Chain A
């Protein structure tokens, strides 16, 4: 179009100016030119290429192509000159192509659509015209569009989220009926579980047969509202959960994005499970376990907490602790708040608070608080609480007892410490710390080393370790550093403390300050040295002389006095250098000394010096004796009388030292200056300040006298004290006394006094000094301790005595394992078992070690059913149960048991006790009683029948006799009378025999040992008539046996048996009776006695009736049937058994029996 217009214009107006005006008006860039360059162009053309003026373009076309970097847009290759559209137009071609050029001014690339055509006039190409459009923007736009399209493709294909595009299909009523899948991305296909190609272009109903209509409802809703809809659903096809988001596009299309949320659903599921678990955890917590929110409202609790408020776990939720329990909140409110605010965890805080809902009953709680996230930046508090009242109380008790101990320990004057069994010190008393100025952390274990002197520490440790290893008492003396930086000396002792089992559990040690004592010793040593110094450097001459008065040693001073050398004097006799006038006196006095007439002699004499001059000296001689009183040597001091003053000074110095020592003793001190021994009370008494205080006075506030002292003395002690003082003066001894005083305020105290009496050179008492100390506290502590020990000892003694002497079995066991602790002596003796089978046995072994059986004496007792176990483990009180225990020899003893738990003050089971009694005798008596009763009722039954029988007969026939009398039939009369007589006789016999039976077993004579043979002979003698009448041959084959019991009854026994045998001999032509013995192995080798006959024998079926009272097998036989009943009774009374054997009728009978304590005669 443009081109044609230009042509027309060119044709119409040929002038250059006009052309310029025309092309200027065109919006596109217009270039007109020839091979040599552009001749006309508009401003748009200049602007497009960044040219300043036409001049820039008036170059060869090929040059212009290079200048503006014209190139192909796709390859970027520069266009050759012949490829340039303008060149080609000059060659007659019409071209529309796109190129890329660079704007010279901006340097930016410009896309150009170039339309070029030749300008032909009259068939001749005059030039070419190019109309170029800047298409940079549209190109870029297109490129951008293509890029977006790629992005969409990439997105569509690669996102993990499913994306589907649907076309709605409506039914005839215009209601959405199905969805046609236009496209689905690969992720969507994958999520849906079907390949893409199986779905695209098909409807839901075609692809997913049986799809729920409810799904369509969701689309219908979106279709109607046009709003985005999000929903979750579970696919029955893939068995997974999806989250879906539906957008409506246009009028009838939907885009759906969806993704798999199965894992999230699973996580939700497991969250629910975890919540349920947490809830179960809460519900079943044995401790108080609460979770509250920031307003202290319950979120979850254990089962117990709600019951405090009469609620249950559900109803308490949401209720605030503030409303439920003010008391409890008082204690827990602050920590809960703190935990909430700071996030710190409070562990095991203890407090006292009433049990909620229990009316103020106080309990100790040990509670932990911790912060719990509740989600959404909210926090709650978890509270775990345990009631620890029991623990608290025992802790408190422990503390109290510890405190008591500490009080005592801290107040004793010594240091005290306790080490564990390995010697590691775990405790020191207060004084220890006071002295050393340390803390426990400094000196725990072996830390005490640091207060010891480096020169001693290794020895101390070695010896202490050695003592610990050997478990022996330890003692050592060593210096310890005090807080004043000075060492003091201590004597330390430690004793092992043993537990009940005798093992060392601790060491208890004390340190006693012995510095003073040592100082005294030190001073003594010093004195010795000083003495030596004095000896050598003394102002007096000193000499030791032997028996013969020869010099053994002399000091320097003496040498100087006498002008002899030491060597010259040693061995020389004193009289040689004594002035001749004094020689006799010297010898005489020395003799007194050496004979023991006096032990010290003072005199003055003259010596002869070496130079022959004499010197006056004062000599003091004292003798030294050995333990037997023999004179060893004499010590002599020889004083140049002019030098005496110096010696006196030395004495004064020594006094001062003594006084200082007194001050250091730190006791109340007093002194009586003994002016008159006769009137003791008149002597002046001096008190130190401490003494005033002991007596309840301000120091110096009262005039002190011996009378005052005695007034304060307890009246009962006065006599004793006076006597002690008198005796001390007499014996020149010091003494200790403990006595009571009454203080000025009337308080009675106990004091300890140490009294010393000082004598002058003549041996006269000059002073009484004493130290006094108030020891009341110490005493009362001792006394209380003693009383407590006494009481415990008493209780223990009672128990011991009880266990030793009580005549029943008592077993005490410890809870909870029912370990047998102690068994009464009676019980031990009854069981006859070694100790290790009786005590120290836990429950599971009771039954086997003690051999315990149930009352059937067969079933072993199960550990948990034994009375002691039930008492100890369950707190059951067991009354009068029967069990069996086994002695060491295997015999079972029936015992009657009563058991009960041993409870402590709080009702907790500490142990159990069982009392048990041997009831073997009781059972035997019971059994005997039962037998006796049965026997008695049988007896009464039999007697009533058998006694009545003859009575009936008598009654009957006496009436017949009356008839006989009337009818006067003498024969019948005789006959009937005989019946009456017989019956009466029988009755008489019966009564006699009943009497006999009843007598057996009664104590009539003492039981004795008798010879069987003798008894048999006596019985045979009594029956001699009967035996000989029947012509029975008697064989006695009994072994020499001794039987024990009632001889009279034994005779009766044999009499009845032999009589019985004769009676039932039948028509035996050679009747024989044998009496003998044998040993029955089947009955523990018991000796069995038998009586055998060869008479009629007994039907085995009837043998059981044989021994019954009034039992007769043959009604025609003589007797009442009582004979064998008597025999049986006698055997029973003698603890035996009787039985019979017979092979049957006509085959003879043998009676066998045993008797208790039968033995072979030795």
Chain B
């Protein structure tokens, strides 16, 4: 089991400002060793399935965690989530949805596609920091009780 600070995170987010403050917070709480930020759904799938410019496997190391926004250009976040969870190898990678949407339908659909967690971007910075901080704790607990990681390793 990787500790939180050694995680390899794939982060898909189209809003550069949101990407900026999220990454800053990951850093602040020492979450993740390597954070790959992609800004549309299609590219995220290319990365995960070694397509296009990621056809060389070395260019796309497997992430330990995927953080996904829902409203993404080209391919929608939910579509990306669904594709990941339908793939035998990828489905064990925990996916955390991080989005501004509070729509119940979005939450429900994300969970129905087996999202591991659904986080709303709060309008409050301290809350956001808290959220990211508790994410570390969450990760450890998750790994303790879910026995899926070996397949990824």
Interface residues of B in 115-152 (CB under 8 A from A): 121-126, 128
Q: Residues 1105-1133 of chain A: 1 if any B CB is under 8 Å from the residue's CB, otherwise 0?
A: 10000011111100000000000000000
A983–B17 contact, CB under 8 A? yes
B73–A1114 contact, CB under 8 A? yes
Contacts of B101 in A (CB 8 A): 944-945
Of A370-378, A625-633, A955-963, the one touching chain B: A955-963
Interface residues of B in 1-44 (CB under 8 A from A): 14-15, 17-18, 20-21, 24, 39-40, 42
A126 at the interface (CB under 8 A from B): no
A953 at the interface (CB under 8 A from B): yes
A646 CA to B73 CA, complexed, in Å: 140
B53 at the interface (CB under 8 A from A): no
Closest to B122 in A: A952
A982–B17 contact, CB under 8 A? yes
Q: Which 8 pairs of residues, A with B, have the shortest CB-CB distance? A: A959-B125, A953-B17, A1115-B14, A956-B21, A948-B100, A979-B17, A1115-B73, A1115-B39
A941 at the interface (CB under 8 A from B): yes
A1099 CA to B71 CA, complexed, in Å: 19
User: Which listed residue, B42, B73, B100, B128, touches A949 by the CB 8 Å rule?
Assistant: B100
User: Which listed residue, A952, A957, A1113, touches B74 by the CB 8 Å rule?
Assistant: A1113
A1116–B39 contact, CB under 8 A? yes
Minimum C-beta distance from B26 to chain A (A): 14
B21–A960 contact, CB under 8 A? yes
Closest to A948 in B: B100
Contacts of B73 in A (CB 8 A): 1111-1115
Q: A957-B21, A960-B21, A1115-B40 are in contact. Are A949 and B15 (CB under 8 A)?
A: yes
Q: Which residues of chain B have a CB within 8 Å of any CB of chain A?
A: 14-15, 17-18, 20-21, 24, 39-40, 42, 71-74, 100-103, 121-126, 128
Closest to A940 in B: B103
Contacts of B125 in A (CB 8 A): 955-956, 959-960
Question: 12 additional contacts, CB 8 Å, given A949-B15, A950-B17, A1115-B39?
Answer: A944-B103, A952-B100, A952-B122, A953-B17, A953-B21, A956-B18, A956-B21, A956-B125, A960-B24, A979-B20, A1112-B73, A1113-B73
Residue in B17, B24, B124 whose Cβ sees the most chain A Cβ within 10 Å = B17
Interface residues of A in 931-959 (CB under 8 A from B): 941, 944-946, 948-953, 955-957, 959
Contacts of A951 in B (CB 8 A): 123
A957–B17 contact, CB under 8 A? yes
A821 CA to B26 CA, complexed, in Å: 83
Minimum C-beta distance from A1142 to chain B (A): 14
Contacts of B103 in A (CB 8 A): 941, 944-945
A1114 CA to B73 CA, complexed, in Å: 6
Contacts of A953 in B (CB 8 A): 15, 17-18, 21
Minimum C-beta distance from B108 to chain A (A): 14
A983 CA to B128 CA, complexed, in Å: 18
B123–A1105 contact, CB under 8 A? no
Sorting the interface of chain A by its residue count into under 10, 10 to 19, 20 to 34 or 35 or more gives 20 to 34
A215 at the interface (CB under 8 A from B): no
Question: 9 interchain pairs (CB within 8 A)?
Answer: A945-B103, A949-B100, A952-B121, A952-B122, A955-B124, A955-B125, A956-B18, A1112-B14, A1115-B72
Interface residues of A in 863-896 (CB under 8 A from B): none
Q: Residues 967-1002 of chain A: 1 if any B CB is under 8 Å from the residue's CB, otherwise 0?
A: 000000000000100110000000000000000000
Q: Residues 837-863 of chain A: 1 if any B CB is under 8 Å from the residue's CB, otherwise 0?
A: 000000000000000000000000000
Contacts of B17 in A (CB 8 A): 950, 953, 956-957, 979, 982-983
A356 CA to B28 CA, complexed, in Å: 102
A1116 CA to B40 CA, complexed, in Å: 10
Closest to B43 in A: A1115
Minimum C-beta distance from B3 to chain A (A): 27
A91 CA to B74 CA, complexed, in Å: 169
A1102 at the interface (CB under 8 A from B): yes
Minimum C-beta distance from A238 to chain B (A): 87
Minimum C-beta distance from A946 to chain B (A): 8
Minimum C-beta distance from B11 to chain A (A): 14
A1105–B74 contact, CB under 8 A? yes
A957 CA to B20 CA, complexed, in Å: 10
A1115 CA to B17 CA, complexed, in Å: 12
Closest to A1117 in B: B73
Closest to B125 in A: A959
Contacts of B122 in A (CB 8 A): 952
Residue in A948, A952, A1099, A1102 whose Cβ sees the most chain B Cβ within 10 Å = A952
Contacts of A941 in B (CB 8 A): 103
Contacts of B40 in A (CB 8 A): 1114-1115
A1035 CA to B20 CA, complexed, in Å: 43
Contacts of A952 in B (CB 8 A): 18, 100, 121-123
Contacts of A955 in B (CB 8 A): 123-125
A1099 CA to B41 CA, complexed, in Å: 14
Contacts of B126 in A (CB 8 A): 959
Minimum C-beta distance from B28 to chain A (A): 11
Contacts of B128 in A (CB 8 A): 956
A1113 CA to B126 CA, complexed, in Å: 33
Contacts of B39 in A (CB 8 A): 1115-1116
Contacts of B15 in A (CB 8 A): 949, 953, 1115
Closest to A979 in B: B17
Contacts of A948 in B (CB 8 A): 100
A91 CA to B125 CA, complexed, in Å: 186
Closest to A941 in B: B103
Minimum C-beta distance from A688 to chain B (A): 107
Contacts of B71 in A (CB 8 A): 945-946
Residue in A948, A949, A960 whose Cβ sees the most chain B Cβ within 10 Å = A949
Minimum C-beta distance from B25 to chain A (A): 9
Contacts of B18 in A (CB 8 A): 949, 952-953, 956
A1112 CA to B14 CA, complexed, in Å: 10
A828 CA to B10 CA, complexed, in Å: 70
A114 CA to B126 CA, complexed, in Å: 174
A10 CA to B47 CA, complexed, in Å: 178
A952 CA to B102 CA, complexed, in Å: 13
A946 CA to B72 CA, complexed, in Å: 11
Minimum C-beta distance from A1104 to chain B (A): 11
User: Which listed residue, B20, B74, B124, touches A1102 by the CB 8 Å rule?
Assistant: B74
Minimum C-beta distance from A988 to chain B (A): 15
A944 CA to B121 CA, complexed, in Å: 13
Minimum C-beta distance from A707 to chain B (A): 106
Contacts of A1116 in B (CB 8 A): 39
Minimum C-beta distance from B68 to chain A (A): 14
Contacts of A945 in B (CB 8 A): 71, 100-101, 103
Minimum C-beta distance from B40 to chain A (A): 6
Closest to B69 in A: A949
Contacts of B124 in A (CB 8 A): 955
Closest to B121 in A: A952
A1105 CA to B40 CA, complexed, in Å: 14
Contacts of A982 in B (CB 8 A): 17
Closest to A1114 in B: B73
Minimum C-beta distance from B123 to chain A (A): 5
A1105 CA to B124 CA, complexed, in Å: 32
Minimum C-beta distance from A831 to chain B (A): 46
Contacts of A1102 in B (CB 8 A): 42, 74
Closest to A946 in B: B71
Minimum C-beta distance from A377 to chain B (A): 94
A466 CA to B131 CA, complexed, in Å: 114
Minimum C-beta distance from A943 to chain B (A): 12
A945 CA to B100 CA, complexed, in Å: 6
Minimum C-beta distance from A940 to chain B (A): 9
A960 CA to B40 CA, complexed, in Å: 26
Minimum C-beta distance from B120 to chain A (A): 10
Contacts of A949 in B (CB 8 A): 15, 18, 100
A547 CA to B32 CA, complexed, in Å: 153
Minimum C-beta distance from A500 to chain B (A): 67
Closest to A978 in B: B17
A983 CA to B20 CA, complexed, in Å: 13
Minimum C-beta distance from B73 to chain A (A): 5
